[in-house]
Every structure is written in structure tokens, then in C-alpha cells.
Amino acid sequence: MYPDVLLFIDGKWRPSLSGRTLPVINPATEDVIGSVAHANTDDLDLALEAARKGFAVWRKVPAYERAKILRKAGELMRQRAPEIGRFLTLEQGKPLAEATAEAMGAGDNLDWFAGEASRAYGRVIPARGEGIYQLVIKEPVGPVAAFTPWNFPVAQVNKKVAAALAAGCSVIVKAPEETPASPAELIRAYDDAGLPPGVLNLVYGVPAEISEYLIPHPIIRKMSFTGSTAVGKHLAAMAGAHMKRCTMELGGHSPAIVFDDCDFDATMKLLSGAKYRNAGQVCVSPTRLLVQEKVYENFVEKFVAAAKQVKVGDGMEQGTQMGPMANGRRITAMEAFIGDAVKHGATLRTGGKRIGNKGFYFEPTVLTDVPMDARIMHEEPFGPVALIAPFRDLDEVVTEANRLPYGLAAYAYTRSVKTATALADRVETGQITINHHGFALPEVPFGGVKDSGYGSEGGAEGIEPYFVTKFVTQASA
Ligand code: NAD
């Protein structure tokens, strides 16, 4: 049904040296379904040595050959997606169709980065003297430490690993302890595709222990993290202290801006679907739904009705639209956010409570009239809660959209080209999607500004953080 998950170091699956494991819990039932090996520093030393050796081998493999291995791993992910999707749903909770699509999507991402490996051109700069060649060469930065979260356990690992390997780096990835089997199957696909030993290593353990050991370590040349802004700032400071390059994909509090002149029904369908996807545990989840005055009341009424219709249940059951939250911490967090908002005067339009007492189910929730002193107006809720508020005009809504230090994503709906252009220009985010939802495809850049982090994953930008630039100038002897 569900595997006991091991570490993968130097091309071998093995338990931790201490034999320690952590239990894995199905959030739909709270049953222990398996275990995951728990690395300590002795295991990390082995992974570091493997990554050092692996880098020496992999950097010399021609991009054309690296691309073939990545494409093969992508094919294997597509073939194995139904089984990997099942593991993902059992450990994380999301509906099976979404979990299987995530595993299938790994194939697209691998195809993209296979292509990027071959497109990593340098350049030739015209020289001032005869017989001189000035070359700019992209070289892989070196062994990478990657840290990824539990909300998209396959996709988050794959974004980092595929880009790093395409560039010629080796990787140690600390994947999420709570959802370990699906990312382990991704690593297995890379291994089965023919990756040399040591190039890709997988560990689990206490996140802070692992990051504090790996980031300062001289073998590691770059780190990449996806998770909360608070942890990201801590890790970025550590990386800075040790002069390590880093990519930070952090939290968000996305505004979704609905103008009077939008296609109302299409907007409603898009937004109600997006809000409750993965139980709101999505860094680009639309959180502040800002609706222009004329359509506000109608929007709230229809959105509440849509929230009530969402079928919450075990992700393994046919027809489930929203699974449980991924862990018990999210239930506590939701109760605290909503309790605090209501205490400060917010109106609870629907939801607001845990469902039952077995499994981490939470009601799709809508709050309106949320005052500025409520925590949820400032902190990322990371759950199935929509905050709906009215606005008058463009200037007012842009000010509200830009109010927070977050700058990950924004959504907008309008038939006016003038308004759409003004929003694209004035909203301070790394990405904005207008009149449709189009984030996070392999071929487009994904990343935040301000406290949402720096660096891009995806697109032509996605491979760049894994390169350093070398300048070579050469005259004929
Ligand atoms: P958390 O902040 O403790 O952990 C978030 C992720 O960071 C986890 O994967 C965890 O393993 C990792 N992490 C935590 N401390 C670390 C450290 N010192 N070194 C390395 N990795 C570390 O909280 P949580 O309860 O797991 O998740 C809740 C919050 O995390 C949410 O409110 C949300 O803001 C954020 N989060 C964001 C994303 C995202 O896609 N950006 C994904 C998951 C969680």
C-alpha cells in the first residue's frame, strides 16, 4: 500500500546509519501508514562526499547526454504517475486526480529542462585586438542543497533538481518528511533513467539540523529553499554569512482583483476553484478577493454558495474536490486565524470549523468585513479561507494589493485593456495572471519579489541560478 521510505545516497537506497525513522501519517485518517528514514550528520557527511564525487563526474557529461537522462526520467514519471499519485494522496491528502496530474507534470518539467541543458549558450565578445577571443562560458555552480515543502511534494523537488542537473550540478535534496514517498519515487525515476551515483542524493530528518549542517559546508556551493518567509529569511542570512548563492521561493498573500466589467461567471468559476485547490495550501493561492463595489454583494453571495458546494473528503474517494489539510498544524493555524479575525469584528459567511475529529478536514471558509488589525490581513493563511472586501477604483485597489511585504502573485479580471495594462504595470508581484489562470508552467518563470523571495524557477530563467559565469580571453601564442 505505502512504502517505508529510505535515504538515497551515492546511488543506493539505505536506512539512516542510526536506524532512526519517523512515522508517516495519512491526513485523511490520521493513521500511521509508513515510515521515513531520519538522517543525522553522519548520513549527511556521506551525502556530501557523494555530491562532491558526483559533481566531478556529472559536470563532464555533455549537455546532450544529460538531456537524454532527464527526458528518460520524465518518461518514467509519466508511466508511473498513477502509482506515485496514490502515494501522494495517501501522505498529503489532495484528491487523487490532482496528485496524479502532479506526477505527470514532472514529465513536462523534465522535458523543459532537458531542452534548457542544450540551450545554455555562452557568448563571444568582439575583441579590441587581432587574434584575441573573448568567451563568456556558463559553468555549473557546484553541489546544491535543496529544501522543499509538503504541499507539492513532487513538483517542488523536481523544479529544483531538474534545473540543477540540467546545468551540470549535483544535488542533495531534503524533501518533506511528512510526504516522503512521492518525492522518493521521483528520485527513483532519475536513478532508473541512468543518473550516475552521487549526482542526486535524497535525505530526510530534522529540517533545521540539516540546513544548518549543509548550507555552511564548504562542499555546498548553492542552496535553494521553498517554504515560509520566516524560515527563508533565516536560511538566506545563513547562506549570506557563508557566501552561498541562494534561491528563495517564499510565502504569498495574493490579491485577486475583480472589476465590475469582468466576465462575472467565468471569474467566479476560476476563483472558487483556485481558492480551495489543495485546501488553500498553495503559495500563490488567491487570498484577498478584492471586488469592485457594483458587483460586490452578488460576488459574495455566489462565492459563498460555491464554497458550500465544495465536496470535502478523502482524496482517494471519487468526486472529492478538496481533501484534508496536510497536517494537524494547519488545523490549529486555521482555527487561530479565523478566531482572531472574528474576535476583531470579521463576518464569518461560511465555514470556519474543523470537520469531524478524525482526519484534518476543514470547512471551505469565507470571511468578509475583516478589519486591518486581524492577523489574517497580514500573515499568509495557507488554508481554505477567502477574505472578500469591496473596492471603489483602480488607485484604491492597487494600494491595497501592494500593502503587504509579500509580492508573489496577483490575479485580475476585467474586460478593459486599459485596466489590465495598468494592473500589470502597477501591482508589485513576481507574476500576475489576468482573465485566466496561467502560473507555474515549466516554460514560464515562477518567483516572487519583496518578502516572497528572489530567483526564478521555470522558464529560461530557471536554469540560470545553477550557473556561474567564467570569462576566458585568449590570444594566439
Ligand atoms: P514551516 O515554516 O516550519 O515549514 C515550511 C517548510 O520549511 C517545511 O517543508 C519545512 O520542512 C521547512 N523548514 C522549516 N524550517 C526549516 C529549516 N530551519 N531549514 C530547512 N527547512 C526548514 O511550517 P509548516 O507548518 O511546515 O508550514 C506552514 C507554513 O509554511 C505556511 O504557513 C506557509 O507559509 C509555508 N509554506 C510555504 C510553502 C510554499 O510553497 N511557499 C509550502 C509549504 C509551507
* 462 Cβ inside 6 Å of ligand 1: no
Find where cell 532527464 sits.
70
* 3 Cβ inside 6 Å of ligand 1: no
> What is the number of helices (H) and of strands (E) in the chain?
12, 22
Residue 59's pLDDT is what? 98
Mean of the per-residue pLDDT values of the chain: 98
Measured in Å, residue 393 CA sits from the centre of ligand 1 at 36
Residue 10's pLDDT is what? 98
User: Quick one: pLDDT band at residue 477, thresholds 50, 70, 90?
Assistant: confident
pLDDT single digits (tens) 13-22? 999 999 999 9
**Helix, strand, coil abundance in the chain, percent, nearest 5:** 40, 20, 35
Rounded to whole angstroms, the Cα distance separating 362 from 352 reads 8
Rounded to whole angstroms, the Cα distance separating 212 from 223 reads 12
From 249, 379, 380, 464, active-site residue: 249
For helices 96-118 and 181-192, give the axis angle rounded to 10 degrees.
40
Tell the residue nearest (CA) to atom 36 of ligand 1: 227
Domains of the chain plus CATH, in order, are 7-250+452-473 (3.40.605.10), 254-442 (3.40.309.10)
pLDDT single digits (tens) 270-321? 999 999 999 999 999 999 999 999 999 999 999 999 999 999 999 999 999 9
Rounded to whole angstroms, the Cα distance separating 106 from 377 reads 34
Residue 121 has pLDDT above 90, yes or no: yes
* 183 Cβ inside 6 Å of ligand 1: no
Measured in Å, residue 327 CA sits from the centre of ligand 1 at 12
* Mean pLDDT score, 177-184: 98
Strands of 92-208 (E only): list them: 123-125, 132-140, 144-147, 171-174, 200-203
Measured in Å, residue 249 CA sits from the centre of ligand 1 at 11
User: How many residues does this entry show for the chain?
Assistant: 477
335 is catalytic: no
Share of the chain above pLDDT 90, in %: 99
Share of the chain above pLDDT 70, in %: 100
pLDDT single digits (tens) 437-465? 999 999 999 999 999 999 999 999 999 99
262 is catalytic: no
User: Quick one: pLDDT band at residue 414, thresholds 50, 70, 90?
Assistant: very high
Residue 411 has pLDDT above 90, yes or no: yes
Rounded to whole angstroms, the Cα distance separating 273 from 376 reads 21
* 157 Cβ inside 6 Å of ligand 1: no
Rounded to whole angstroms, the Cα distance separating 352 from 246 reads 38
From 98, 283, 380, 457, active-site residue: 283
* 448 Cβ inside 6 Å of ligand 1: no
- Pairing relation of β-strands 286-292 and 254-258? parallel
Residue 295's pLDDT is what? 98
